[in-house]
Amino acid sequence: MITNYAARIRALDDDALERFVTDWAKRRTRDYVETQRWSGTGDMGRDVVGYVTRQRHEGEWDNFQCKQLSSRLSEKAAFVELGKIFMHSAAGEYRLPRGYTFVAPKGVVRNVQNFVAHPERFRQAFLDRWNELVAPELVENQVVTLTPGIRDAIERFAFDSVYWLDAAGLAEDEYAIPALVKWFGYDPGAAPPGVTPDLPQDEEAPYIEQLIGLYGERRNTTFADYDSALADPEWGQHLREQRTRYFEAAAFDRYYRDSTPPDYLVAFKDDLYHGVVDTHRDRHSDGLARVLRVLAQASQVSPAGVLGRYAKVPVKQGTCHQFANEGRLPWRK
- Residue 333's pLDDT band, with cuts at 50, 70 and 90, is confident
For the segment 247-256, what is each residue's pLDDT rounded down to a tens digit? 999 999 999 9
pLDDT value at 61 more than 80: yes
Q: What percent of the chain has pLDDT over 70?
A: 99
Whether the CB-CB separation of 138 and 84 falls below 8 Å is answered with yes
- Residue 3's pLDDT band, with cuts at 50, 70 and 90, is low
pLDDT value at 199 more than 80: yes
User: Lowest-confidence range among 59-73, 149-163, 240-254, 290-304?
Assistant: 59-73
pLDDT value at 2 more than 60: no
Which residues, 6 or more positions from 110, have their beta carbon under 8 angstroms from its beta carbon? none
Q: Where are the alpha helices (DSSP H) in 142-204?
A: 148-156, 167-172, 177-184
How large is the average pLDDT for residues 297-323? 97
Whether the CB-CB separation of 287 and 324 falls below 8 Å is answered with no
Which residues, listed in sequence order, are joined to residue 64 by a DSSP beta bridge? 48, 101
Q: How much is the pLDDT for 325?
A: 96
Give the 3-state secondary structure of residue 45.
coil
Angle of helix 287-300 versus helix 262-281 axis, rounded to 10: 130
How large is the average pLDDT for residues 295-315? 96
Any idea where the domains of the chain sit in the sequence? 2-184, 202-326
Euclidean distance between CA atoms 178 and 167, whole angstroms: 16
Give the 3-state secondary structure of residue 66.
strand
- Burial of 139 from C-beta contacts in 10 A (0-12 / 13-18 / 19+): exposed
* Greatest CA separation for the chain: 89
Give the 3-state secondary structure of residue 322.
helix
The closest alpha carbon to 108, from 74, 82, 141, 81, belongs to: 74
DSSP conformation letters of 91-158: TTSSPPPSEEEEE-TT-B-HHHHHHHH-HHHHHHHHHHHIIIIITTTSSTT------HHHHHHHHHS-
For the segment 80-117, what is each residue's pLDDT rounded down to a tens digit? 999 999 999 999 999 999 999 999 999 999 999 999 99
Q: How much is the pLDDT for 331?
A: 97
- Residue 272's pLDDT band, with cuts at 50, 70 and 90, is very high
Q: How much is the pLDDT for 42?
A: 77
